Amino acid sequence: RGYSGTVKRSQLRLEGVKDVIAVASGKGGVGKSTTAVNLAVALANKCQLRVGLLDADVYGPSVPMMMKIDRKPDITEDKKMIPIENYGVKCMSIGFLVEKDAPIVWRGPMVMSALAKMTRGVDWGNLDILLVDMPPGTGDAQLTMTQNLQLSGALIVSTPQDIALLDARRGANMFSKVGVPILGFVENMSFFKCPHCGEPSFIFGKEGARNAAASMGHDFIGEIPLEMDVRKGSDEGIPVVISAPDSAISKAYGGTAQNV
């Protein structure tokens, strides 16, 4: 309401939502969306919280596929979109509103107006936590989200690799600059455990995100290994936390969710 196409500095507090937490990364492809999805599902199913997931990655929305949702949201009488629930998580994504394979070639103002719709125009009901899968990087779209929404904190997802960490640090600094507390770093693709001999290989380097968090004075929230079941879960739309709830990887997500 009151959105006029320009970035407003007044922050929106979502009624009924206790905490809004941004899941961010400096770089694309580090597993931010995969982490956001599995954490949301773990927070709902392992921690028994009322959880929402807002896919604000406007250029590459992943939630429709990863959460297996392919319909448009219903609209309330006062013209708000009703999030679509799957695996115990209420979801909203720009991907619900555009055709599946259509390119999203929007200029800045359209991105801003889409983000405003995604934040102001959704009837979330009562939630303990709303996770926001942020667009990667530290540009306009990210700033708009941090300025529009009253965020309780931000989780920074990074691989242990130097190049990813460089951008992750940038991302963390952006949140700090606008006064959003950093809840901590999650290291994704921390290692690959050989299914034959059980030996871990540190494909993207060892403990990079843990060290980066320590050097910046931030907490380290958890490490998620590189694992085929995670990738499969994302592609098939059944998060590994649901398909194999007692596996080591699901426990890694569960432990990380508890630290959040």
Q: Which residue has the tokens 């709303």?
A: 130
Q: Identify which of residues 119 and 159 has a Cβ nearer to ligand ADP in the complex.
A: 159
CB-based burial, 155-177: b 16+ in 10 Å, e otherwise:
bbbbbbbeebbebbbebbebbee
**Angle CA(224)–CA(96)–CA(31) in degrees, nearest 5?**
15
Give the span between the Cα atoms of 167 and 172, in whole angstroms: 9
Cα distances (angstroms) measured from residue 22 to each of 57, 93, 136, 193, 227: 11, 15, 11, 29, 24
Q: How many CB atoms lie within 10 A of CB 45?
A: 21
Residue 224 touches ligand ADP, criterion: CB under 6 A: yes
Strand ranges (E), 120-181: 127-133, 153-158
Q: How far is the CB of 252 from ligand ADP (least distance, A)?
A: 9
Q: Identify which of residues 50 and 146 has a Cβ nearer to ligand ADP in the complex.
A: 146
Q: What mask of x and - would describe binding to ligand ADP in positions 49 to 78, judged by CB under 6 A?
A: -------------x----------------
Residues 16-35 touching ligand ADP, rule: CB under 6 A, are 25, 28-34
Contact region with ligand ADP (CB under 6 A), list: 4-12, 121-129, 195-203, 227-235: 227-235
Tokens of 24: 């961010």
Element spanning 176, H or E:
helix 162-177
Of 56, 86, 55, the C-alpha closest to 68 is 86
Q: Which of 230, 238, 241, 260 binds ligand ADP (CB under 6 A)?
A: 230
Contact region with ligand ADP (CB under 6 A), list: 5-13, 102-110, 214-222, 224-232: 224-232
Residue 155 touches ligand ADP, criterion: CB under 6 A: no
Q: Identify which of residues 123 and 187 has a Cβ nearer to ligand ADP in the complex.
A: 187
Give the span between the Cα atoms of 196 and 200, in whole angstroms: 11
For ligand ADP (CB under 6 A), the number of binding residues is: 17
Identity of the residue numbered 45: N
Q: How far is the CB of 9 from ligand ADP (least distance, A)?
A: 28
Q: Which of 21, 141, 227, 238 binds ligand ADP (CB under 6 A)?
A: 227
Beta-bridge partner residues of 185: 156, 220
Residue 231 touches ligand ADP, criterion: CB under 6 A: yes
Residue 171 touches ligand ADP, criterion: CB under 6 A: no
Q: How far is the CB of 8 from ligand ADP (least distance, A)?
A: 27
Residues that bind ligand ADP (CB under 6 A): 25, 28-34, 62, 188-189, 224, 226-227, 230-231, 234
